[in-house]
């Protein structure tokens, strides 16, 4: 990297600190965690996508497609269920949570069921989110070591401390506006890499001549994921449906953006835009992976710079070798942006859940000044915990990344079932719901520990079904005497739902026939 690249990175980091100072004045907890519900839906849309299409996606998706053993365009099958999941989220789930006026989505569970239900699910969220974020920071610190020549500690401090300062000071507004800028940088960075890769490879036809044909398979219709096979089309659709609905609708780190929207109408626009834009952006990542993978495979000296069994180095090594001064700085900023968007979102959502949990447990409602003080302290503490964990992630990352993905699938189905049962049924009692929740989680834990050959994507659907069935049956023995049900709100029309179903069908046909179109 040249002085110009370092200057660009430095100016970007200073700009983030200014963003925190710009939005540092808040008057209430809702303004700190939800931006006072004054944020425009296009900005929130960019924030949602920046959090999901994170640094790991920017680095790992192209590496998976272009270089990783067993990889390829099969990555696209992850996207097939999202439009269907948006229907579930907009039917009652997120509009009801938005209408309830909660800061933490888990507060709804206490209002509908019991404090124990709320605390159980929020505890799982806080532990899993902090570990997942720590591993993400560690992975990106390796990239910065390769591009900027930093050691691990300095790389982690650059990512963590700057993000901690601007997110703790500026609250949700700083996080969302930072995410919006970062999303633009991420997409522009992927586009620049694709353009430079095509130039280096000698055009798209030359890429197709180099890339092995098996990497062009985008859907696996030969397996149902019953014998341990990954990426089967059926588990990716049905398991993915539950995973996405739970992640976007019940995970505080994503649902907090929906709660921050000005109205249910804006919420609907935001989620529909995400449903239609995520696939094209993922296609851009995958196309960059194919092209750069072809460059690496045809250039032995470039391939020698990528450590063995570390395909994630593909993107940063390509950036340093093939992009001119100034552009390298912009791409390093894009990598930083992707990491910081995930970290800032995690810090803010963890602080929101922790602050609300403390207020419920103590039973005393603090004034706005005390609440904001608690919120900033909680955000700072979680930021420091995450940074400390990331320093030691190198010892556990090779197994924990896979473990965290599986842990998510253990809980996503039962959590979604709990929220939907609370919204759609007044018959299920708090005790019955807790029994169903534990039964769903317990079933998935058994599948994991028993080394079942069932592909873990199925756990999402299995946990969802088991939780609802057990909770429903338990309610006959333990009826809900209070018959308490909070008002629910529908946020999508039948016409919009039909369009989303059609879009999901188009995506499915696209990934099935994509190899024929490319060959």
For the cut 90, the answer to whether the pLDDT of residue 466 exceeds it is yes
CATH number for domain 3-398, candidates 1.20.900.10, 3.20.190.10, 1.10.10.60, 1.20.1730.10: 1.20.1730.10
CA nearest 259: which of 426, 22, 29, 7? Answer: 29
Mean of the per-residue pLDDT values of the chain: 81
Token output for 247: 């992640």
Mind listing the pLDDT tens digit for each residue in 260-278?
Answer: 888 889 999 999 999 999 9
Q: Cβ neighbours of residue 154 under 8 Å, at least 6 residues apart?
A: none
Report the C-alpha gap between 467 and 441 in whole angstroms.
8
- Rounded to 5 degrees, φ, ψ at 304 are -70, -20
Q: What DSSP letter does each residue of 387-451 carry, written as one string?
A: HHHHHTGGGTHHHHHHHHHHHHHHHHHHHHHHHHHHHH-SS--HHHHHHHHHHHHHHHHHHHHTT
Report the C-alpha gap between 321 and 344 in whole angstroms.
30
For the cut 90, the answer to whether the pLDDT of residue 465 exceeds it is yes
Report the alpha-carbon angle 209-210-211, nearest 5: 105
Mind listing the pLDDT tens digit for each residue in 285-316?
Answer: 999 999 999 999 999 888 888 877 778 788 88
Tokens 């709660």 map to which residue? 259
Report the C-alpha gap between 500 and 268 in whole angstroms.
12
Look at residue 397 in the predicted model and tell me its pLDDT: 42
Report the C-alpha gap between 82 and 467 in whole angstroms.
22
Look at residue 400 in the predicted model and tell me its pLDDT: 42
Q: Using the Cα atoms of residue 8, residue 14, residue 20 and residue 24 in order, give the sign of their dihedral.
A: negative
Report the C-alpha gap between 42 and 318 in whole angstroms.
32
Mean pLDDT calculated for residue range 91-100: 88
pTM over 0.75: yes
Report CA-CA distances (Å) from 320 to 146, 199, 204.
Answer: 9, 15, 22
What are the structural domain ranges in the chain? 3-398
Report the C-alpha gap between 117 and 318 in whole angstroms.
48
- 495 vs 124, which has greater pLDDT? 495
- 30 vs 114, which has greater pLDDT? 114
Mind listing the pLDDT tens digit for each residue in 395-421?
Answer: 544 434 455 666 778 889 999 999 999
Look at residue 470 in the predicted model and tell me its pLDDT: 95
Report the C-alpha gap between 485 and 113 in whole angstroms.
9
Look at residue 1 in the predicted model and tell me its pLDDT: 67
SS3 string, 105-172, reads HHHHHHHHCCHHHHHHHHHHHHHHHHHHHHHHHHHHHHHHHHHHCCCHHHHHHHHHHHHHHHHHHHHH
Mind listing the pLDDT tens digit for each residue in 315-343?
Answer: 888 888 888 877 888 777 777 766 776 67
Mind listing the pLDDT tens digit for each residue in 158-209?
Answer: 777 777 776 666 666 777 777 777 788 888 888 989 999 999 998 999 999 9
**Among 8-17, 96-105, 296-305, 423-432, where is mean pLDDT lowest?**
8-17
Token output for 222: 């030969």
């Amino acid at each position: 990297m040249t002085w110009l690249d370092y200057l660009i990175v430095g100016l970007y980091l200073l700009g983030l600190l200014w963003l925190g100072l710009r939005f540092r004045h808040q008057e209430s907890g809702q303004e700190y965690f939800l931006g006072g519900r004054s944020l425009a839906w296009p900005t929130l849309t960019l924030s949602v996508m920046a959090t999901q299409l994170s640094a790991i996606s920017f680095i790992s998706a192209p590496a998976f497609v272009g270089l990783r053993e067993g990889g390829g365009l099969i990555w696209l099958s992850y996207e097939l269920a999202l439009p269907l999941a948006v229907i579930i989220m907009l039917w009652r789930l997120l509009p009801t949570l938005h209408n309830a006026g909660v800061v933490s989505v888990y507060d709804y569970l206490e209002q509908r069921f019991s404090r124990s239900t709320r605390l159980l699910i929020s505890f799982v969220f806080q532990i899993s989110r902090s570990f997942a974020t720590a591993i993400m920071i560690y992975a990106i610190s390796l990239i910065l070591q390769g591009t900027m020549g930093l050691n691990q500690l300095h790389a982690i401090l650059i990512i963590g401390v700057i993000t901690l300062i601007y997110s703790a000071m500026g609250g949700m507004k700083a996080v969302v506006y930072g995410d919006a800028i970062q999303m633009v940088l991420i997409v522009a960075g992927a586009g620049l890499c694709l353009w430079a890769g095509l130039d280096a490879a000698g055009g798209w036809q030359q890429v197709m001549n180099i890339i092995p044909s098996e990497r062009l398979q985008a859907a696996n219709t030969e397996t149902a994921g019953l014998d341990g096979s990954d990426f089967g089309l059926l588990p990716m659709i049905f398991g993915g449906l539950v995973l996405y609905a739970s992640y976007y609708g019940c995970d505080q780190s994503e649902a907090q953006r929906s709660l921050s929207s000005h109205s249910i109408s804006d919420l609907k626009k935001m989620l529909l835009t995400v449903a239609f834009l995520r696939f094209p952006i993922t296609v851009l990542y995958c196309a960059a992976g194919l092209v750069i993978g072809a460059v690496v495979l045809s250039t032995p000296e470039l391939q020698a710079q990528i450590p063995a069994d570390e395909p994630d180095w593909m993107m940063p090594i390509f950036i340093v070798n093939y992009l001119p001064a100034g552009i390298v700085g912009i791409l390093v900023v894009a990598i930083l942006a992707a990491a910081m968007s995930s970290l800032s979102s995690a810090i803010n959502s963890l602080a929101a859940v922790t602050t609300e949990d403390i207020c419920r447990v103590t039973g005393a409602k603090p004034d706005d000044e005390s609440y904001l003080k608690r919120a900033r302290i909680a955000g700072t503490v979680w930021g420091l915990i995450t940074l400390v964990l990331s320093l030691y992630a190198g010892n556990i990352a090779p197994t924990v990344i896979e473990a965290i993905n599986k842990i998510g699938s253990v809980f996503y189905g039962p959590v979604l079932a709990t929220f939907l049962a609370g919204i759609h049924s007044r018959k299920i009692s708090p005790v019955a719901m807790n029994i169903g929740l534990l039964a769903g989680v317990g079933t998935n834990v058994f599948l994991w520990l028993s080394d079942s050959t069932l592909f873990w994507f199925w756990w999402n659907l299995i946990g969802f079904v088991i939780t609802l069935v057990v909770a429903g049956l338990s309610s006959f023995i333990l009826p809900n005497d209070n018959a308490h049900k909070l008002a629910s709100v529908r946020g999508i029309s039948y016409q919009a739902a039909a369009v989303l179903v059609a879009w999901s069908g188009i995506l499915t046909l696209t990934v099935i026939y994509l190899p024929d179109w490319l060959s």
